[in-house]
Structure 1
Amino acid sequence: MDVITTHVNADFDCLGGMIAARKLYPEAQMVFAGAQERSLREFFLQSAVYAHGFKRVRDIDLAAVTRLILVDVRQSDRIGPFGEVARRKGVEVHIYDHHPAGKADLQADFEVIRPVGATVTVFCQLFMEKGIVPTPDEATMMMLGLYEDTGSLLFNSTTAKDYQAAAFLLEHGANLNTVADFLTQEMSAEQVALLHELIQNRTVLNVNGVDISIAHASVENFVGDLAVLTHKLKDMENLDALLVAARMGDRVFLVGRSRVPEVPVGEILAELGGGGHSFAGSGTVRDLTLVQVLDRLPEILRRHVNPQWQARHLMSFPVKGIGPESTIREARTLLTRYNINTLPVMDGPRVVGLLSRQVADKAAHHGLADVPAREYMSTEFASVASDSTVDELKELIVVRSQRFVPVVEKGRAIGVVTRTDLLRHMVSGMRSGRRREIETGINEGALTLKKRQVARLIREQLPSRVLEVLQELGVVGDALQCEVFAVGGFVRDLLLRQPNLDVDIVVEGDGIAFASEFARRQGCRIRSHQKFGTAVIIFPDGFKVDVASTRMEYYLEPGALPTVEDASIKLDLYRRDFTINTLAIALNGPRYGELLDFFGGQRDLEEKAVRVLHNLSFVEDPTRVFRAIRFEQRLGFRIGVHTEHLLRSAVRMGFVDKVGGARVFNELVIILKEANPVPAVARMAELQLLKYLHPALVLTPRIRQRFEEASRVIHWHELLYTGEPCQGWLVYFLCLTVELDKDAMEGICRRLAVPARYVGMLCEQRAEARSRLQSLERRRARGTRTKASELYQWLKPLATEVLLAMMAQAGTDEVRQQISHFFTHLRNVSPLLDGNDLLALGIPPGPQYKVILHHLLQARLDGRVLTRDDELALVRKRYFNRGGPKT
């Protein structure tokens, strides 16, 4: 006799799997090995599932069983009385399951085990392979199991094959209304009481850097659907990993759920007689009390929870050190350059001592600046390996007060961990008891978004094309064994849910080599800059990705361009301008979606604050004052109080004057290219920055009015769809400087090193436009009509940007309309006749052609000719006599 069975406390995946197995073994008897979960029992009461012929154990002659088909289980101690049958000699055992092996003790004669989200999915794959078609009732019961075990296809354990299985079942009549009715039932009073007790008794255990919640309860009678309650608790408290232990009567029931691979709950519960997979597990304990189970859990967790944070995760690299013979003076220079407090003293790749800033300063104070570092370095220090745990680092840094710990592999220093590194890790690792997700997608009160949240943001916010590019970048990084990160404004705007497809990538390694390999695989081309270790990947359709090697910067003097050296991702992010731009997202396979936030960038996004990373930020690079204003106005943020104090100090002390004019000009152009630059320019005026363009430049109410008018005329021109390019920033710049005289404007162009192609427009054409505008205003005031040909002659030589600035600066609507009329009706007017026509009329070629065509143009502009014949008649009348063309 063939028997199909499953584990005790069967759920819908068991039911669906047994129904499916019957299609493969039509003569087999379906028997539940023990009790079922409450939701499944209610389904039996309210549906016609009894028609499928389920038997009770007592109706089966166990001695007659020759083949045992097990569904969703592989342990003999989880199938009740069938455990003995499975171990009996001569009984053939077939197994269909989706759980990893764990401590399964049954050896099957035939098995189908696949790493998917539900056992039902295993059968759906077999059905599709064999052409087996379930009935609508069977498909509905299978869909119940699929949805329950994958959390409606939302659990981490869900795979693409689970979605295919759902589509297959839906195609064959699965009733989703029935699925919804039985998977979203209200909790009973007993379940509510049990859930309340679990909430009250929840504690958090940190194991190897991972927070794991453990909840327990004790009731006298059995309460069903403990797995459902576990899911509710996990979702209510937004937990990464949760283990629930509930004593019911004389047994302890266990359920585990995990969102992170570091906590494999299936393996953990297998040590207590249960099982499951990495993200979900369950079990029943008969021989231990609840207290004993809770006592054993910490030790079990320590064995199975993978260390999440090790020294290699916290360390900075490459190591910046000095040789033993280097002087104290040289050491102080490096300490200042790299903004660090301790330098390792290196004998080749080996660390032989540590020299702190305090020791170096005191030695210099005592006149010992030229003494070798080896004389005053500390030689009593400990180092760690790259896989050393956070606890080991805490012992050295907190207990033994060693503020600087070298990370060493095979005698070679590969990185360092400082007290600050450890403190940042400990702070970012804190977890509040409950978090609320706000509109930006940032967790309130938390300092780190989970990988799944970031991955979801990427899927939701980015086009599929960009999503594929990011994934392929990670694939190439894995192949080249280098870490790849998306960084900067792209990440910032992703978290803010603002569009930004300017993808910036940094690579811990050779950025150019990485870009070359990616381009080879994807059929792209690259443009590289060897000096800076950067490259641009250019796709066939023009889409671009900027790639750089991770690097650090230091400034030899205020306002100078930075000196660049290779560094780790942490030091690369530290060189950036503001905390909100220091966020990075890992793209490599195992870390895909991991958000790096070393400097509180998420906190400042949440608080809508623009803050620098250190107090000398504006001193080292004064152009950051312009960028601070730009981000503040673009994002609707506010410059932090301390940051604004530092900004005003840098402006007051004249550090902006030390910056090359071309760099200031570039920052100004970027501000003027903003969708609405008016608030940013007003903020520049408030912070006394306009004087660095020219001492006479101020933002008067009149200039501000013209500046705001510029926005309207630029939008008006865009709506004309002339196809003629217009650089809006030039229009704004002309309006901003409208009250400056010629000498002042030329002075601005020299101060800002304005490119020659713009100087003529900003000086000569600007002066010409001012004169023409004054003439038009005077004519309007006198009531004098300006002919179209005169308007054309005055305005035609001027660039589009200069004309739009004239419209913005016009004092009356009449004059503005005249310039508008030139744009829309006059600018592209030309005679219908050309030189060939004049030659055909018998007029010999020569300078006279230009005169005749100009005369025709004026006549057409003023409406004196309308057709080609009108032009021919005008030429004959004006330039012919009775004998032929005038000579």
Structure 2
Amino acid sequence: MNGAAQTPGERVWEQLRLEDRTWLAGLARAAGPGARVALVGGAVRDALLGETPSDLDVVVEGADVGTLAADTGLPGLVHPAFGNATVTLPDRRHADLVRARRESYPVPGGNPVPAPGTLEDDLRRRDFGLNALALLVSPDGRLTLLDEVGGLEDLRARTLRPLHPHSLHEDASRLVRGARLAGRLGLTPHPELRRQVPGALEMADRTPRLHAELRLLLDEPRPGRAARVLEEWGAGALLPAGAVERLEALDVRQDTGQRVLAPAYAAALLSAAPDPAALADRLGLGEKPGALLARARSDAPAAPGSAEAVLRALLRPEAYPVLTGRDVVALGVPPGPAVGQALAHLAALRRAGQVRSREGEQAALRTYLAART
């Protein structure tokens, strides 16, 4: 296609993987007369930004989602009560198929109540304008970009705009999701979003889904950016005091070429909490980040560049690579029980503040060995 003449729908289509285009076209044909099949949400947004989407969300109107998923011949899981299904694509990625629906929130902070609806209803129920775009794929191959709420203009302006006056009050998790998007894509908040922040904070403790979004924040490419966005929006209280700075410090390490994995970010977040175990439980982090934090706070040797070493440098800037068993053997300690005795001696000196550098430990070990000969 001539790039200059492409419609927005064609631009999205061209950004998709060939196998995803083939699969979507097959879905549209299998859905039958009168049905509509559309790729929605983040995949459309990212494709319009020039990215190749990985996650696929498909909304179906006028056809049974379970039957359509089964007809693909791909392994998957159908949830008839919710009108959705998840299929596993040949390359092991997952694609979600959902029935077009409307939603209402009888209780702010609670789960929404769904009802059957049109594709347009489904777009209008979403969180932000730039996430409410859809690529309608017709059985005959026609492509139509649906923009019910002005999402294209938001995307051009790189603006994050809630779709409803009570959007963040009804679902405070949208505030964290918005910060994740803003940090990742460099988006600016619409004035309406800023107006709704106090309402979201008011409902934060009554919105269990918010904890899941905070956990997802730790999986962002640069979690510190998303955390700083929350701070700038006046929602820093959703994180422990000092957490933003610690997460940003790990971002800096990534920016300079050092690999920092999600568990290190999770442990850094826990390090700022008055009760790390309680926070880990609320966020569903499991035991690993807490154990990592405990190792980083200990005097146990840590390999250079390891998650423990990275965290230790963050939490204890005065820390240094302590001598290991291999080091003390190289300096003259005979292998065997004497190695443990020498390491215990050095650990006692560290606790007493009598050694404060690797060189100091080496000197102290020489003194220790000389006294034993």
Shorter-chain TM-score: what band? 0.7 to 0.9
1:580 alignment counterpart: 130
Q: How many residues align?
A: 331
Q: Of 109, 112, 115, which residue of structure 2 is paired with 1:562? A: 112
AA aligned opposite 1:482: A
Determine whether 1:809 maps to 2:345. no
Equivalent residue runs for 1:393-404 within 5 Å: none
Cα shift at 1:689: 2.9
Cα shift at 1:761: 3.9
Determine whether 1:639 maps to 2:189. yes
- For the residue of structure 2 that corresponds to 1:647, the secondary structure is helix
2:213 alignment counterpart: 667
Determine whether 1:482 maps to 2:15. no
2:331 alignment counterpart: none
TM-score w.r.t. the length of structure 1 is 0.34
Equivalent residue runs for 1:219-298 within 5 Å: none
CA contact (8 A) 2:101 2:122 kept: yes
- Separation of aligned partners in 1, 2:22 and 2:178: 33
- For the residue of structure 1 that corresponds to 2:72, the secondary structure is helix
- Separation of aligned partners in 1, 2:147 and 2:268: 41
Cα shift at 1:539: 2.9
Cα shift at 1:573: 1.0
AA aligned opposite 2:258: W
Determine whether 1:754 maps to 2:284. yes
| Partner deviation per Cα, 1:65-118 (whole Å, 9 max, x = no partner) | xxxxxxxxxxxxxxxxxxxxxxxxxxxxxxxxxxxxxxxxxxxxxxxxxxxxxx
CA contact (8 A) 1:625 1:647 kept: yes
CA contact (8 A) 1:578 1:610 kept: yes
- Separation of aligned partners in 1, 2:337 and 2:85: 55
- Separation of aligned partners in 1, 2:255 and 2:55: 28
- Separation of aligned partners in 2, 1:643 and 1:717: 33
- Separation of aligned partners in 1, 2:23 and 2:210: 34
Equivalent residue runs for 1:537-556 within 5 Å: 537-556=87-106
Cα shift at 1:765: 5.0
Cα shift at 1:619: 1.2
- Separation of aligned partners in 2, 1:705 and 1:476: 48
Cα shift at 1:730: 2.5
AA aligned opposite 1:484: V
Cα shift at 1:710: 5.2
CA contact (8 A) 1:706 1:735 kept: no
Cα shift at 1:737: 4.1
2:23 alignment counterpart: 469
Q: 1:455 to 1:600 in 2, by over 3 A?
A: closer
AA aligned opposite 2:124: Y
Cα shift at 1:705: 6.0
CA contact (8 A) 1:474 1:592 kept: no
1:655 alignment counterpart: 203
User: Stretches of 4+ moved more than 6 A in 1?
Assistant: none
- Separation of aligned partners in 1, 2:9 and 2:266: 42
Cα shift at 1:534: 1.2
- Separation of aligned partners in 2, 1:559 and 1:571: 21
AA aligned opposite 2:203: F
- Separation of aligned partners in 1, 2:337 and 2:67: 63
Cα shift at 1:699: 4.9
- Separation of aligned partners in 2, 1:491 and 1:560: 28
| Partner deviation per Cα, 1:428-456 (whole Å, 9 max, x = no partner) | xxxxxxxxx9xxx8xxxxxxxx9x52453
Q: Of 610, 614, 620, which residue of structure 1 is paired with 2:160? A: 610
Identity across the alignment (%): 24
Q: 1:639 to 1:705 in 2, by over 3 A?
A: closer
CA contact (8 A) 1:535 1:546 kept: yes
Runs (5+) with no aligned partner, structure 1: 1-152, 155-436, 442-449, 719-727, 773-790, 827-853, 863-887
Cα shift at 1:739: 4.3
| Partner deviation per Cα, 1:151-209 (whole Å, 9 max, x = no partner) | xx97xxxxxxxxxxxxxxxxxxxxxxxxxxxxxxxxxxxxxxxxxxxxxxxxxxxxxxx
CA contact (8 A) 1:536 1:547 kept: yes
CA contact (8 A) 1:690 1:698 kept: no
- For the residue of structure 2 that corresponds to 1:537, the secondary structure is strand
Larger Rg: 1
Q: 1:581 to 1:761 in 2, by over 3 A?
A: closer
Q: Of 213, 222, 227, which residue of structure 2 is paired with 1:681? A: 227
CA contact (8 A) 1:473 1:484 kept: yes
CA contact (8 A) 1:669 1:729 kept: no
Q: 1:582 to 1:740 in 2, by over 3 A?
A: closer
Cα shift at 1:693: 4.2
1:529 alignment counterpart: 79
Cα shift at 1:736: 3.4
Cα shift at 1:806: 2.1
- Separation of aligned partners in 2, 1:707 and 1:717: 9
Cα shift at 1:516: 0.9
Cα shift at 1:627: 1.1
CA contact (8 A) 1:553 1:565 kept: yes
1:738 alignment counterpart: 271
Determine whether 1:766 maps to 2:287. no
Cα shift at 1:681: 0.8
User: RMSD across aligned C-alpha pairs, in angstroms?
Assistant: 3.3
- For the residue of structure 2 that corresponds to 1:594, the secondary structure is strand
CA contact (8 A) 2:293 2:308 kept: yes
CA contact (8 A) 1:552 1:571 kept: yes
- Separation of aligned partners in 1, 2:153 and 2:137: 22
AA aligned opposite 1:490: A
- Separation of aligned partners in 2, 1:472 and 1:685: 45
- Separation of aligned partners in 2, 1:808 and 1:576: 39
